[in-house]
Amino acid sequence: MFGPFEVIPIMMTYLLVAPNGLAALQIVPKTWQYKNHPVGYEVINPIEGMDNGSDNRGPILLLNGFGVGSFHQHRLMPMLARDTNSIVYGIDYLGQGRSWPKDCDDGMGENERGLIYSADT
């Protein structure tokens, strides 16, 4: 799915249950490597056999605002997956959320190369 990148699942998952207790969807955190930097993302799949009147319409990728992590989408992800019958992805941009470089200090370390953001105003 991500070309030559390796997808590495991590140990923690989230189980979300609808208020009526009928539907449960699981958000699974994963990581892939981009130029030796970990990029965290989360994925949620619609429950197999769920009858919501729609076919799988392809994946949905949620893009956060700057400084926000994929965990901010936890309420939205299961609703989108259920209502659209689509796989939903939330990504942490490099330097944000679970995509933070290891041994980060002042932005100039070896693990932080290429992660400097700037905005010209």
Which tens digit of pLDDT belongs to each residue from 76-111?
888 888 888 889 999 888 777 777 766 665 556 665
pLDDT score recorded for residue 2: 43
Do you know the residue count of the chain? Answer: 121
Q: Which of 84, 88, 100, 102 is nearest to 42 (CA)?
A: 88
Tell me: pLDDT of 18 over 70. Answer: no
Predicted TM-score (pTM) of the model is 0.61
Q: What is residue 79's DSSP assignment?
A: H
